[in-house]
Amino acid sequence: MNDYAFCVPTDIRFGRGQIECLDKEIGKYGRKVLLVYGGGSIKKTGLYDKVYEVLKDHEIYELPGIEPNPKITSVRKGVEICKEKGIDVILAVGGGSVIDASKHIACGTFYDGDPWDMVLDRSLVTKALPVFTVLTICATGSEMNPGAVISNEMTKEKLEINHPLLYPTLSVCDPTYLFTLPASQTAAGTADIISHIFEQYFQPNDGAYLTDRFSEAALKTCFKYGPIAMKEPDNYEARSNLMWCSSIALNHLLTFGKGGGWSVHPMEHELSAFYDITHGVGLAILTPAWMRYILNDDTKKRFAMYAKNVWDVIEEDDLKAAVKGIELTEGFFKSLGLPSRLSDVGIDDSRLAEMAAEAVRTSTLKTRAYVKLDASDVEQIYRNCLY
């Protein structure tokens, strides 16, 4: 097991009605709140009115319209409001996009230049406003981690800032807020959680036994409850298990003692940067193709372990077991109604080489991935799931 530092300062308030804590908890930091939200789902679900009811003694300013794959232009607007109004706390009500934009606004408020500079150079992050979140879609884990992924529509870059100051101060995780999620978002969110677990599970270190077992339990949770949540949107047991799973899948618990770079996320971030597709959909398309591409004599043992421990595959030959595990993974994504080819989401071969080069340039694919990949490998993986 590798040495590891683990410190997650986010206060999680999990369960029905936890939103009531916000008045008291936000009050510890001040009265002026910037409420950040997306395209309007929170108005339809009644959560918007609830926030105003709970925070009736606060002074609330608003930044609506955060887009899926949040844009730097929205971050700039938020920073302007925070500076002009002297905001004390940011309240993000939504999913990863809203939370990520809020984190970036939180640190951008204390920087004099353009917030995009901080994405390129995280040493510019020196201070941040407290960010509170009310989670409405479980997928990214942003509610309990220090990452924020922001897109620059001008340069077609989608990059992450990651800084300890960006952990949310407190996150309200009420599974009943997931009841209104459309099936397609439940599917994409589940694929994202699964991919986060894979990114940490498929790494070279075989000594982190406990971490691997945690990962397998988290994967089983997704495979069991993803389909149930889609069929029965208000199934509390399914929603609550998936919600907690999304948080622990990316609060670094599953990297404990392992280390190593990620593979599928950097490849997917190019798809959503160039084509603005849903993150979880891109991951579902790429994951089986990546698995097949890197399956070899060195990796077959770990893939077989996954197949046996997570899918109960009975097969003595590691390679055969590994192949079966990959087929089951692909079949699972299809059963959720997720697209399986790039052409299904309007991506053709015209920019594959460009995206592959960017994926390698902006990540550690070539230096730290489970199986190191250069631009020609990435392009081939894209091609293998084109049609």
Q: Please answer whether residues 115 and 159 qualify as being in contact, where contact means their C-beta atoms are separated by less than 8 angstroms.
A: no
**Residue 292 is which amino acid?**
R
Q: Tokens for 386, please give them.
A: 């084109």
179/256 with CB nearer ligand NZQ: 179
Among residues 39, 233, 257, 259, the one that binds ligand NZQ under rule CB under 6 A: 39
Residues 267-286 that bind ligand NZQ (CB under 6 A): 272, 279-280
Q: Identify each DSSP E strand in the chain by its residue range.
A: 11-14, 32-37, 59-63, 89-94, 131-135, 147-152, 157-162, 170-173
**Residue 111 is which amino acid?**
Y
With CA atoms as reference, report the closest residue to 63 among 37, 41, 82: 37
Phi and psi at 141, nearest 5°, equal 80, 5
Residues 281-320 that bind ligand NZQ (CB under 6 A): none
274/311 with CB nearer ligand NZQ: 274
**Chain centroid offset of residue 116 CA:** 20
Which distant-in-sequence residues (6+ apart) come within 8 Å of 343 by Cβ? 386, 387
Residues 325-354 that bind ligand NZQ (CB under 6 A): none
CB of 316 to ligand NZQ, least distance (A): 35
Among residues 48, 132, 177, 244, the one that binds ligand NZQ under rule CB under 6 A: 177
Residues 115-174 that bind ligand NZQ (CB under 6 A): 136-137, 139-142, 145, 147-149
145/203 with CB nearer ligand NZQ: 145
Which of Zn ion, ligand NZQ, none lies near 100, with the C-beta cut-off 5 to 8 A by kind? Answer: ligand NZQ
Among residues 35, 55, 69, 264, the one that binds ligand NZQ under rule CB under 6 A: 69
13/269 with CB nearer ligand NZQ: 269
Tell me the β-bridge partners of 200. Answer: none
Under the criterion CB under 6 A, does residue 187 sit at the interface with ligand NZQ? no
The residues that touch Zn ion, with contacts defined as CB under 5 A, are 192
CB-CB neighbours of 317 under 10 Å: 11
Q: Tokens for 1, please give them.
A: 């097991």
CB-CB neighbours of 116 under 10 Å: 20
Give the binding site for ligand NZQ (CB under 6 A).
38-42, 45, 68-69, 94-98, 100, 136-137, 139-142, 145, 147-149, 177-178, 180-181, 185, 189, 192, 250, 265, 272, 279-280
